[in-house]
């Protein structure tokens, strides 16, 4: 079984590495987006899939990181070596503030993160002297550190792929660490965790900030891919989609959020080419997932494996 | 005189107009085994919640080994040696039995904050978790999800969780609730063989279990202590017979 899994991972990595050689720029761009938004979905799923918190403000960290990097790089000519870490730091700092929302649970947590997300979107939208308003910040260059720089979309594709793979392995260690087990314990029974000596609020807060840092990293990857950022990056639909990607792919897994990102971005591109109401189609896909595959694609796959094993 | 493990002073807890606990004062010596009995609604569980920190008392004090803990968070009291079980099994049903025990062991251990090493890398922790399961007879269930365990096995796990958070004082809220006679015997056997270094306070409805295990018994009724004494004294007391067994 473990050998099968290793084989699947190797094949997937080989396919990902080969993609720029066999696919055109359109597909390469779509897959790059899938990696970036998959990373955003993964960050939201650290809270949803492991700690049981449904966050609706992850686009905020994503956007603040993207804006910070873009503004520093474009307006102030700050080099990538500083602008990119500054973006991650800014998004993470915002998460450290928004993290106060872990004092609430359930629907209150959802509503508070929703409201906070709108605040950030509103600032990006209305404070146009600083953020550029609806036009946002444009002409973001490719990242360059010293003499080494990205020159093409293909090179950037590989950079994003490398970051995603590193993040996926790091994330896997994180969710299997004592800290990660603690999160799952809180999801299962917070009262018991408290009586066992866990400071559950602090535990969740730490998870929230870590999750925000990961979303910020996705935001920085996004701004260098997209070459511009506008308030859409911090909007409500982006936050919702991040969570939907995780749910469709399978929450509590590492691969699921990326699969979910592939489904949502792929469907959106395909459906919107011939049908205006693509959002309605996405809604139907989501309802179908909840009804027939509540554990997402990864859950379906596990069920198929179990069925095959049972048949002999 | 030995130091008191738990001292409760004039403790009261109100819910709206209801005084669930109405001025309870009691002291449990270190190493003692105390049973807390009383009819339904006597305030036993509420008193427990106030001692462990799940609830804040409306007034009064709680001391743990002489240290005032009335306003201390539950997790801090656990760090100071307080452990508890729940009346309704409160275990991690989505996790395996082994993961349950691991969480119990890590609760009072700073390694719970480690993010960069998988839990599998802590071989010693796994061994101790397996030992903990063995102690309550669940070693063969280690890798099973707890939701697949029977009710009785969950009660055993409930006890194992509390024991492995390394308590000096253990509060057991009806450890035998809902169990068949044979399982009941098994759990009370487990409790009886606990080291004397652990102070026990136990709510128990089963008089045989309670009186068999306890050194002393406190009887609660309508939020007040109506009697405290040895099991024999309590059994012989007519007032207790009245409130506990109703009019005969």
**Structure confidence by residue, pLDDT tens digits, B166-175:** 899 999 999 9
Q: Which ipTM value was assigned to this complex?
A: 0.91
Q: Do A180 and B90 touch (CB under 8 A)?
A: no
Interface test with A, best of B107, B122, B129 (most A CBs within 10 A): B107
pLDDT band at A50 (very low <50, low <70, confident <90, very high): very high
Taking the CA atoms of chain A, what radius of gyration do you get in angstroms?
A: 19
A177 in B contact zone (CB under 8 Å): yes
pLDDT of residue B247 exceeding 70: no
The terminus-to-terminus CA distance of chain A in angstroms comes to 15
> How many Cα atoms sit within 13 Å of A261 on the Cβ side?
25
Residue A307 lies inside a defined structural domain of this protein: no
Taking CA–CA distances from A196, the nearest residue in chain B reads B107
B78 vs chain A: nearest CA distance in angstroms?
5
Which one of A187, A196, A198 has the shortest CB-CB distance to B161? A196
Extract the tokens encoding A295: 């554990």
Q: Which of A48, A185, A180 is nearest to A106 (CA)?
A: A48
A197 in B contact zone (CB under 8 Å): yes
Q: Are B211 and B217 in contact (CB under 8 A)?
A: yes
A29 in B contact zone (CB under 8 Å): no
Residue A308 lies inside a defined structural domain of this protein: no
User: What sign results for the dihedral spanned by CA atoms A130, A135, A139, A145?
Assistant: positive
pLDDT of residue B248 exceeding 60: no
Interface test with B, best of A171, A190, A194, A196 (most B CBs within 10 A): A196
pLDDT band at B40 (very low <50, low <70, confident <90, very high): confident
Q: How many CB pairs under 8 A join A and B?
A: 101
pLDDT of residue A309 exceeding 90: no
Q: Which residue has the tokens 């759990």?
A: B187
Dist. CA B199–CA A310, nearest whole Å:
49
Q: List chain A residues with CB under 8 Å of B104.
A: 196
pLDDT in tens, B84-94: 999 999 999 99
pLDDT at A156: 95
Which one of A176, A194, A210 has the shortest CB-CB distance to B75? A194
pLDDT of residue A238 exceeding 80: yes
Write out the residue limits of the CATH 3.40.50.300 domain(s) in chain B: 1-81+167-248
Q: Do A191 and B104 touch (CB under 8 A)?
A: no
Interface test with A, best of B50, B112, B125, B161 (most A CBs within 10 A): B112
A185 vs chain B: nearest CA distance in angstroms?
6
Pairing of strands B59-64, B82-84: unpaired
Which one of B78, B99, B116 has the shortest CB-CB distance to A196? B78
Q: Do B118 and A193 touch (CB under 8 A)?
A: no
* Region A254-283 average pLDDT: 90
Q: Which residue has the tokens 């790059």?
A: A32
Extract the tokens encoding B126: 């796994």
Query: How many structural domains compose chain A?
Result: 1
Which one of A173, A185, A197 has the shortest CB-CB distance to B116? A173
Mean pLDDT of chain A: 94
Q: List chain A residues with CB under 8 Å of B108.
A: 196-197
pLDDT in tens, A30-40: 999 999 999 99
Residue A289 lies inside a defined structural domain of this protein: no
pLDDT at B245: 66
Quick one: which H or E segment has residue B63?
Answer: strand B59-64
Q: List chain B residues with CB under 8 Å of A189.
A: 90-92
pLDDT of residue A168 exceeding 70: yes
Q: Are B154 and B89 in contact (CB under 8 A)?
A: yes
* Region A162-167 average pLDDT: 97
Q: Do B75 and A187 touch (CB under 8 A)?
A: no
pLDDT at B1: 47
What's domain B1-81+167-248's superfamily in CATH?
P-loop containing nucleotide triphosphate hydrolases (3.40.50.300)
Residue A159 lies inside a defined structural domain of this protein: yes
* Region B186-194 average pLDDT: 90
Q: Do B112 and A198 touch (CB under 8 A)?
A: yes
Q: Are B24 and B49 in contact (CB under 8 A)?
A: no
pLDDT of residue B4 exceeding 50: yes
Interface test with A, best of B117, B118, B149, B167 (most A CBs within 10 A): B118
This prediction has a pTM of 0.93
pLDDT band at A199 (very low <50, low <70, confident <90, very high): very high
B113 vs chain A: nearest CA distance in angstroms?
5
Residues of B with CB under 8 A from a CB of A: 52, 54, 73-75, 78-79, 83-84, 86, 90-95, 99, 102-104, 106-108, 111-120, 122, 161-162, 165
* Region A210-237 average pLDDT: 96
A65 in B contact zone (CB under 8 Å): no
Extract the tokens encoding B203: 């709510």
Q: Which of A31, A29, A61 is nearest to A234 (CA)?
A: A61
Which one of B75, B83, B93 has the shortest CB-CB distance to A198? B75
Taking CA–CA distances from A50, the nearest residue in chain B reads B94
Dist. CA A269–CA A143, nearest whole Å:
27
Residue A126: domain span: 21-233
Q: What are phi and psi of B195, to 5 degrees?
A: -60, 145
pLDDT at B172: 95
Q: Do B112 and A182 touch (CB under 8 A)?
A: yes
A2 in B contact zone (CB under 8 Å): no
Q: List chain A residues with CB under 8 Å of B75.
A: 194, 197-200
SS3 assignment, position B170: strand
């Amino acid at each position: 079984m473990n050998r099968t899994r290793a084989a699947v991972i190797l094949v997937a990595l080989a396919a990902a590495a080969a993609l720029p050689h066999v696919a055109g720029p359109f597909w390469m761009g779509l897959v790059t987006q899938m990696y970036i938004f998959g990373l955003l979905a993964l960050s939201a799923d650290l809270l949803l899939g492991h700690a049981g918190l449904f966050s609706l403000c992850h686009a905020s960290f994503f956007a603040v990181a993207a804006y910070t990097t873009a503004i520093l790089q474009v307006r102030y000519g700050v080099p990538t070596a500083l602008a990119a870490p500054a973006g991650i730091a800014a998004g993470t700092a915002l998460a450290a503030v928004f993290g106060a929302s872990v004092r609430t649970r359930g629907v209150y947590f959802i509503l508070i993160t929703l409201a906070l997300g709108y605040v950030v979107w509103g600032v990006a939208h209305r404070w146009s002297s600083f953020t550029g308003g609806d036009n946002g910040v444009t002409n973001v260059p490719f990242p360059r550190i010293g003499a080494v720089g990205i020159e093409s979309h293909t090179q950037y594709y590989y950079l994003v792929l490398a970051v995603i793979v590193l993040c996926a392995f790091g994330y896997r260690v994180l969710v299997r660490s004592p800290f990660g087990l603690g999160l799952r314990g809180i999801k299962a029974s917070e009262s018991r965790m408290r009586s066992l000596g866990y400071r559950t609020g602090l535990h969740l807060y730490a998870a929230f900030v870590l999750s925000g840092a990961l979303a910020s990293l996705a935001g920085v990857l996004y701004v260098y891919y997209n070459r511009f950022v506008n308030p859409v990056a911090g909007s409500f639909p982006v936050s919702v989609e991040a969570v939907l990607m995780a749910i469709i792919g399978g929450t509590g897994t590492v691969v699921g959020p990326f699969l979910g990102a592939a489904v949502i971005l792929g469907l959106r591109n395909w459906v919107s080419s011939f049908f205006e109401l693509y959002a309605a189609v996405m809604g139907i896909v989501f309802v179908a997932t909840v009804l027939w595959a509540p554990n997402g694609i990864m859950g379906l796959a596990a069920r198929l494996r179990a069925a095959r094993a049972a048949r002999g | 005189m030995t130091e008191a493990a738990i001292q409760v002073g004039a403790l009261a807890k109100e819910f709206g107009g209801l005084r669930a606990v109405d001025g309870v004062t009691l002291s449990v010596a270190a190493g003692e085994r105390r049973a807390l009995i009383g009819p339904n609604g006597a305030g036993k569980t509420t008193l427990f919640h106030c001692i462990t920190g799940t609830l804040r008392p409306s007034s009064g004090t709680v001391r743990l080994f002489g240290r005032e803990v009335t306003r201390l968070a539950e997790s801090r009291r656990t760090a100071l040696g307080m452990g508890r079980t729940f009346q309704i099994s409160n275990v991690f049903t989505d996790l395996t039995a082994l993961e349950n025990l691991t969480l119990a062991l890590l609760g009072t251990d700073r390694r719970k904050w480690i993010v960069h090493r998988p839990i599998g890398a802590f071989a010693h922790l796994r061994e101790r978790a397996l030992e903990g399961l063995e102690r309550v007879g669940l070693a063969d269930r280690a890798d099973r999800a707890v939701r697949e365990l029977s009710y009785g096995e969950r009660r055993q796990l409930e006890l194992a969780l509390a024991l492995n958070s390394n308590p000096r004082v253990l509060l057991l809220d009806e450890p035998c609730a809902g169990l068949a006679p044979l399982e009941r015997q098994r759990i009370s056997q487990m409790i009886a063989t606990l080291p004397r270094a652990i102070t026990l306070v136990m709510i128990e409805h089963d008089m045989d279990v309670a009186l068999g295990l306890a050194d002393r018994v406190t009887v609660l009724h309508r939020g007040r202590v109506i009697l405290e004494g040895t099991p024999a004294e309590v059994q012989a007391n007519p007032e207790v017979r009245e409130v506990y067994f109703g009019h005969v």
